[in-house]
Structure 1
Amino acid sequence: MISFSVLIANYNNGKYFKECYNSLMDQTYGNWEVVIIDDASTDDSVEIIQSLIKDNPRFKLYHNSTNQGCGFTKRECIKYAEGEICAFLDPDDALYPQALELTALEFYHRNDIVATYSQMMLCNEYLNPDKIYPGTKQIYNNQFFFNCPIQFAHFFAFKKEVYWKTSGINPKLKNAVDQDLYLKILEHGDIRYIKEPLYLYRLHSNGISQHNAKQSAKESFARVIHEAMKRRGLRKINNKNVPEKFTDSKEIYELLNYQTHKLHRLINKIKVSLNI
């Protein structure tokens, strides 16, 4: 059986962790571990997590001595992971019972892929399902794919051996950490789309990617995209020059405006269906 590492970076989400924990214990797949790093929470997160995981050897809990932020903490999670496949789960979210099993099966049947992603279910603050996130699509992965507009998110799982071929998660990032990871992993192979929701995403006022953090996340995402362009050696996109240095997010997003057009999306959809 393929070994799975579920990675959790926690900061002040103790009150939500029980549902996250229960969803892991309800998994239909057996060969998994959980790596949790608490980023110097100021609430009772550590006490709550410890009371739930107790002496369960599947769970490993570590601590940052000071608050380091999302990028640093997620990067640290992977250092402790022992599984062949890794995936991040936010402590305020949860997984469907078959999430790990269906993901592992994709890697088992398709040795050529480097990652998988699925649909995700948007939920209210109490984790009651509302609707499937509509932005998730089957993607056409090439050097001009930047996941902008957003076409995939959770549940993203990737081969750990492939991760170590990249520069890894940028520890300085506070936002767009996942997007940075997606783009780096997809530069090393193809991805498989699981067209059903495996992830329960909780919408609440304290979410790191929600509310007041949106503008900051947009700026960070633009920087991540620019870094991907430079990493891939792209000098022009749609006959427009890629800037040597990042100046502002508007300049980057203007380069990608053509990717929102219906014709471009139709062409990519045809390429995906024909497996070009």
Structure 2
Amino acid sequence: MDSLISIAMCSYNGERFIKDQIDSIVSQTYKNFELIIVDDGSKDNTIEIIKDYQSKDNRIKLFQNEKNLGFVKNFEKAITLCSGDFIALADQDDVWKRNKLEVFLNNIDNNMLIYSDAILIDQYSKETGQELIRPDGNLVDGKCNKAFIFYNCVSGNTLMFRKELVKDIIPIPNDITFHDIWIAFLASTKGTITFTDEPMTYYRRYSEQITRNVSKDYKSISDRLKKKQNSYLLHAQNLVNYCSAFRKVDGLDDDIKNILNILIDHYSNYKKGYFNFKMQSCLKKYKDELFAIKRGKTRNRYITRYSSKNKLLKIFFYSI
């Protein structure tokens, strides 16, 4: 229980909520930690707020980027600056339960990573009555890397991992758009992961978040089909990118190598839209592992087919 825990936090124009997050961290029941904050070029009062906390608590260390890195590369930098035996990630606008670090340290055992679900709160810190993953999705544990190919249940702000995983995490491939799924895949490949049944983080959702403001304004039916088509193709390309990055990880077993190869081949040719029986067979064979996170919503899957003129024609249904 004397292990040093490093907390990697990234900040950017976070003056509105960062005090709540830092307050929840400095008041943790487990005291042997360092808080590494890497600011990505804030233009508001974020730096002044952090420096005020820093003057009162020498466990807080502030680093300022000369140029904006973006949140994935900023977290990558923050992780490299950590010196603790364990590393936890923190977002600037969330809130932690006071015993989060203590609970995680007591329950990580021999696992490579530990995480939890999160309780959703609004901009006024009021609970919405929902959790981030459950009940629509499942939390997974063990050596379960196949589960992270299509879905992710390990949010970056809810995890803590062993320092020995850093050598595999860094560098985060450029095609990886979210660092948390990369970390979860690696941890469940190199070792095992676990979770606490009690959510340990309050995850804030509010209107200014970019990911919550997705416009669905369609000018016509053809415009809607075109946007849907582009969305499917973008999703296919993202899957190729992720699977290609996963495929380069050392220590993969033959099953997951085969799965990744099939997915890369299928989604690389997704624009042609042929029905891929090899893909269907793969999904049937590994369905319990591939869809362990959202099994309740994956009994029926769909494959989209396109005509030679690249127009959306039909959605083929099959059951797994």
Question: Smaller-chain TM-score range?
Answer: 0.7 to 0.9
Alignment of 1:228 onto 2:250:
no
The answer to whether the 8 A contact 1:13-1:92 is kept is yes
The answer to whether the 8 A contact 2:142-2:193 is kept is no
The answer to whether the 8 A contact 1:209-1:217 is kept is no
The answer to whether the 8 A contact 2:148-2:290 is kept is no
| CA displacement at 1:266 relative to structure 2 | 11
| CA displacement at 1:123 relative to structure 2 | 0.9
Q: Percent identity?
A: 21
Structure 2: which 5+ residue stretches go unaligned? 216-230, 294-320
The answer to whether the 8 A contact 2:122-2:206 is kept is yes
Which stretch shows the higher mean deviation, 140-149 or 179-188?
A: 140-149
SS at match of 2:78: helix
SS at match of 1:36: strand
Q: Provide the residue aligned with 1:176 in structure 2.
A: 178
Separation of aligned partners in 1, 2:147 and 2:65: 34
| CA displacement at 1:146 relative to structure 2 | 1.6
Separation of aligned partners in 1, 2:138 and 2:210: 20
Residue 121 to residue 3, structure 1, CA distance change in 2 (3 Å)? same
Separation of aligned partners in 2, 1:118 and 1:96: 12
The answer to whether the 8 A contact 1:146-1:225 is kept is no
Alignment of 1:237 onto 2:259:
yes
Separation of aligned partners in 2, 1:81 and 1:218: 35
Q: Radius of gyration: which is bigger?
A: 2
Q: Provide the residue aligned with 2:22 in structure 1.
A: 21
> What are the within-5 Å matches in structure 2 for residues 44-55 of structure 1?
44-55=45-56
Which stretch shows the higher mean deviation, 36-45 or 200-209?
A: 200-209
Residue 23 to residue 225, structure 1, CA distance change in 2 (3 Å)? farther
Alignment of 1:197 onto 2:199:
yes
Q: Provide the residue aligned with 2:116 in structure 1.
A: 118
The answer to whether the 8 A contact 1:169-1:177 is kept is no
Q: Provide the residue aligned with 1:163 in structure 2.
A: 166
The answer to whether the 8 A contact 1:36-1:61 is kept is yes
SS at match of 1:157: strand
Alignment of 1:206 onto 2:208:
yes
Residue 83 to residue 163, structure 1, CA distance change in 2 (3 Å)? same
The answer to whether the 8 A contact 2:175-2:245 is kept is no
| CA displacement at 1:181 relative to structure 2 | 1.8
The answer to whether the 8 A contact 1:28-1:100 is kept is yes
Q: Provide the residue aligned with 1:273 in structure 2.
A: none
| CA displacement at 1:27 relative to structure 2 | 0.9
| TM-score normalised according to structure 1 size | 0.80
Residue 181 to residue 152, structure 1, CA distance change in 2 (3 Å)? closer
Q: CA RMSD in A?
A: 3.6
Separation of aligned partners in 1, 2:212 and 2:281: 24
Q: Provide the residue aligned with 2:126 in structure 1.
A: 128
Alignment of 1:103 onto 2:127:
no
| CA displacement at 1:84 relative to structure 2 | 0.5
Structure 1: which 5+ residue stretches go unaligned? 270-276
| CA displacement at 1:126 relative to structure 2 | 1.7
Residue 187 to residue 267, structure 1, CA distance change in 2 (3 Å)? closer
Separation of aligned partners in 2, 1:226 and 1:171: 10
The answer to whether the 8 A contact 2:142-2:192 is kept is no
Q: Deviations over 1:53-108 (max 9, x none)?
A: 3241110000000111112211111222121100111001111011000001123x
> What are the within-5 Å matches in structure 2 for residues 2-17 of structure 1?
2-17=3-18
**Alignment equivalent of 2:288, drawn from 232, 255, 264:** 264
Which stretch shows the higher mean deviation, 80-89 or 146-155?
A: 146-155
SS at match of 2:17: helix
Count of aligned pairs? 261
Amino acid at match of 1:227: A
Separation of aligned partners in 1, 2:270 and 2:201: 30
Q: Considering Cα pairs closer than 8 Å and 6+ residues apart, tell me whether 1 or 2 has the greater RCO.
A: 1
Amino acid at match of 1:237: I
Separation of aligned partners in 2, 1:32 and 1:18: 18
| TM-score normalised according to structure 2 size | 0.70
The answer to whether the 8 A contact 1:176-1:217 is kept is no
Separation of aligned partners in 2, 1:249 and 1:44: 46
Separation of aligned partners in 2, 1:128 and 1:260: 42
Residue 235 to residue 56, structure 1, CA distance change in 2 (3 Å)? closer
